[in-house]
Amino acid sequence: MGYYIGVDGGGTFTDAAAMDDEGRLFYAKAATTRDDFAMGMFDALAALAEECGVEVSELIASTNRFSLGTTVGTNLLVERLGARTGLLATAGHGDSILMMRGSGRTAGLEPELFFHPQITDKPEPLVPRFLIREIDERMDCLGQEVAPLNVEQVERAVRSLVEEHQVEAIAIAFLWSFKNPAHEQQALEIVRRVAPDVYASCSHQVSPRMGEYERTVATVINSYVAPASAAYFRRAADKLHDSGLDHPLLIMQVSGGVLPAAKAVEVPLTALGSGPVGGLIGSLAMSRQLGHANVIATDMGGTSFEVGLIINGEPLVADENVVDQRRYKLLQLQTTSIACGGGSLARIDPHSGSIRVGPESAGAQPGPVCYRRGGTEPTVTDADVVLGLLSSESFLGGRMPLDRDAAVRAIAALGDQVGLGVEETAAGILRINNARAAELIRQQTVVRGYDPRDFMVYAYGGAGPLHAFAYAHELGVKGVVIPLGNGASTLSAYGCSTSNLVLNFEREELFFAPFELDRLNRALGELEEEARAAMFDMRAGGDEVEIDRFCLMRYRGQWLHNLVMRIPRGHLGTEDIAGVVDDFRSSYDTLYGHGAGVVSQGVELFSIRVRAIVRLRRPTQAMEQQFGKPVADQARLGSRDIFWPDRMERLESRLFDGSRLHYGNRIKGPAVVELPYTSIAVGMDQVLECDAFGNFALNFEHTPGASPVVGTQSSTLTTG
């Protein structure tokens, strides 16, 4: 039996998912081990092997593909544990990374801080001024050499950084290098000759984009996280190989695909934040299976809450990202995160005297109070336990009992400070947390011109299915899907396992309408050749490489408002490019209002992109064939009183074992469906339905006799 495994190392738990050759799915979780991420990975694999009914050595030896998503790079950056890094910059521009953009004080912070920049500060620089060396050289905006590279100066700078300051990595970021990388390439050769053991990266390779500050930040972060990230990738690959894995370890990328570890270490920045992207890819796979074109993918785990959008069957792509107040440009699938998870701490706000939830988190250690690991401050998970939404006996399939009494004491102490009882305080914590989650979704949809009522919400992560009944309901969405049922808690790992080999290439080059098609076709052809050559180097055959082409377009004179448009394959003719322009105008009107386009200024195309994909084989997911079986007696777990935060009242609510529910079963709220790695809350006037793939659909306005999410059966659904 062969297996296709994905592992996602999150901030609190390390998740694992596997599909065997028969299309059966298996899931497992283990606590993340921050001191050694590989240990947490093998703990999750041991639990996964148990679910598969084999020894862990047999599981690994039988694995046909192993994909890994990780937060190791993010943790290195946020916790300031990366390599001692030096920077080579163009003379006169060494301070640009220290000055930052004007938004640097509030970039990536909570929205309310935008209005109070006086209480914020810039992040501590990754490269202090004494490790920055300015180099005499200059390219102009057309890529023409204005001043040659001072080779001797570069050599002296490298020796100073290495011998006097013991840097472990060097970032090279010269002006306009993405137009002509010759000087950066020369400097890189000098670094490799003078200090072969020092990691070095160039801005034209990491982020070939306009924007001196963002390009430099990307290069510095890449060098900063590279030595430890590369060591972790190699250590994980070696341990898996020693355990019997006979295939290359694949690393999840923010582009939405995977790359062999040997390739991923070249630019480890592309793996930064790959865990949330894994969940988005898992949602994409499920949405295509279920026929949902527009999806709001929501991942609520122990530490954070991430949102990604799928529009017309394609995930949105972002040009830049912010980590720890540092904004950088990198092509990636767009996910937005806030500190709003199960481990978010509830505290008294010192200014208002009211309860505040997050952004601080209890993390994996010490974790929520109910974990019995030394936590003393109440969290969202503690509130779930106190209200009865989360069972204290069946958490993680009963392997980790929770201490409800300790959670009650912690929340009672918090409530005493604001004059509320235990249940009211716990309900308040959840309502605040769910409101923050709903607000992030609004920011990603309504603010961009999308109507949430046109979307399905996919709720996953350990805490997502438990809270979606509230945060999704107030948005007015079509409904909620808990993908793969119990697998929703490990959807990011599932997404890693389903990902294909993906490489992105881009070039910033300006074209004005009417476009010079010969030059545009030539530039696209060169990018395609580069993409195919890179895939060939990874032993991905040229015949199986799929090429998608895109461009960035805007009205001439604009800077912030641009759209990513798909370019047809093959040689572009006049009608082809006219169709792209028409699509741009139509999309612009949809997002910003009819007539909002600055038509008199014309359209310009300023960046071209090529995405190369090699689709990796995986089995077809197994389906349950029989529809309409009644809810089994074994699935009925009785009932318990639950204090529902949306209604602020205690109701007797039925309990079900989700692993024993079948295709076509319906559960009417109020109820809780318990699964080993998550629980699904079904509120009043809500109905939960199970489909043939093991997904659960949460419907807010149910029509009697409605068909399930997947399947062509039309018989009446069985009431639970």
pLDDT-based confidence at residue 642 (cuts at 50, 70, 90): very high
**CB neighbour burial string for 614-636, b if at least 16 within 10 angstroms, e if fewer:** bebebeebeeeeebeeebeeebe
Lowest mean pLDDT among 54-58, 346-350, 647-651: 346-350
Same-domain status, 11 and 130 = no
The residue that leads in pLDDT, 363 or 264, is: 264
Torsion of CA 241, 272, 482, 451, to 10 degrees: -150
CATH number reported for the structural domain that contains residue 508 in this entry: 3.30.1490
User: Rounded distance, CA 212 to CA 420, Å?
Assistant: 52
Question: From its phi and psi, is residue 575 left (phi > 0), alpha (psi between -120 and 50) or beta?
Answer: alpha
Token couple for 415: 């409530």
The model's pLDDT over 664-701, given as tens digits with 9 standing for 90+, comes to 999 998 999 999 888 999 999 899 999 999 999 999 86
Question: What does the angle CA 372 – CA 373 – CA 375 come to, to the nearest 5 degrees?
Answer: 90
CATH number reported for the structural domain that contains residue 187 in this entry: 3.40.50
Same-domain status, 172 and 219 = yes
Decide if pLDDT at 116 tops 80: no
User: Rounded distance, CA 428 to CA 648, Å?
Assistant: 9
Structural domains counted in the chain? 3
- 8 A C-beta contact, residue 94 and residue 134: yes
Question: In what helix (H) or strand (E) does residue 469 lie, and over which residues does it extend?
Answer: helix 464-471
Task: Return the SS3 of 254.
Answer: coil
- 8 A C-beta contact, residue 609 and residue 551: yes
Q: Tell which residue, 623, 27, 6, has the closest CA to residue 290.
A: 623
Same-domain status, 109 and 33 = no
Same-domain status, 11 and 27 = yes
Same-domain status, 88 and 210 = yes
How would you class 175 by CB atoms within 10 Å of its CB: exposed for 0-12, middle for 13-18, buried for 19 or more? buried
398 in a structural domain: no
655 in a structural domain: no
36 in a structural domain: yes
Q: What is the pLDDT of residue 705?
A: 35
User: Which residues neighbour 381 within 8 Å (Cβ) at sequence distance 6 or greater?
Assistant: 302, 342, 343, 368, 370, 371, 390, 463
Q: What is the pLDDT of residue 704?
A: 36
Same-domain status, 245 and 213 = no
The model's pLDDT over 539-558, given as tens digits with 9 standing for 90+, comes to 765 558 899 999 999 998 88
pLDDT-based confidence at residue 707 (cuts at 50, 70, 90): very low
- 8 A C-beta contact, residue 222 and residue 171: yes
Distances (CA, A) of 284 to 219, 292, 496: 30, 9, 12
Task: Return the SS3 of 100.
Answer: coil
Decide if pLDDT at 703 tops 60: no
User: Rounded distance, CA 408 to CA 512, Å?
Assistant: 65
Token couple for 62: 């039988």
- φ/ψ of 195, rounded to 5, equals -135, 75
pLDDT-based confidence at residue 465 (cuts at 50, 70, 90): very high
User: Rounded distance, CA 321 to CA 209, Å?
Assistant: 13
The residues pairing with 96 across neighbouring beta strands, listed in sequence order, are none
Instruction: For strands 718-719 and 665-668, give the pairing.
Output: parallel
User: Rounded distance, CA 98 to CA 123, Å?
Assistant: 9
Q: What's the rounded mean pLDDT across residues 621-631?
A: 84
Decide if pLDDT at 524 tops 60: yes
Same-domain status, 154 and 200 = yes
How would you class 299 by CB atoms within 10 Å of its CB: exposed for 0-12, middle for 13-18, buried for 19 or more? buried
Q: What is the pLDDT of residue 625?
A: 82
Q: What does the DSSP 8-state code read for residue 160?
A: I
Task: Return the SS3 of 264.
Answer: helix
The residues pairing with 250 across neighbouring beta strands, listed in sequence order, are 67, 260
Same-domain status, 83 and 180 = yes
Decide if pLDDT at 129 tops 70: yes
Same-domain status, 18 and 85 = no
Same-domain status, 85 and 179 = yes
190 in a structural domain: yes
Q: What's the rounded mean pLDDT across residues 223-250?
A: 92
Same-domain status, 198 and 86 = yes
Decide if pLDDT at 713 tops 70: no
What angle, rounded to 10 degrees, do the helices at 574-592 and 517-537 form?
80
Half-sphere exposure of residue 56, counting CA atoms within 13 Å on the CB side?
14
Q: What is the pLDDT of residue 111?
A: 67
CATH number reported for the structural domain that contains residue 33 in this entry: 3.30.420.40
Q: SS3 for 544-598, per residue?
A: HEEEEEEEEEEECCCCCCCEEEEECCCCCCHHHHHHHHHHHHHHHHHHHCCCCCC
Same-domain status, 11 and 70 = yes
Q: What's the rounded mean pLDDT across residues 603-630?
A: 89
Token couple for 497: 């396992």
- 8 A C-beta contact, residue 104 and residue 327: yes
The residue that leads in pLDDT, 304 or 416, is: 416
The residues pairing with 173 across neighbouring beta strands, listed in sequence order, are 89
Domain that holds residue 506: 501-614
Q: What is the pLDDT of residue 542?
A: 52
Within 57-196, strands assigned E span 63-70, 85-90, 132-135, 138-139, 145-147, 169-173
The model's pLDDT over 373-407, given as tens digits with 9 standing for 90+, comes to 888 899 999 999 999 999 888 777 677 889 999 99
User: Rounded distance, CA 25 to CA 6, Å?
Assistant: 11
Distances (CA, A) of 430 to 402, 409, 424, 426, 471: 18, 17, 10, 7, 10
Q: What is the pLDDT of residue 663?
A: 93
Decide if pLDDT at 645 tops 80: yes
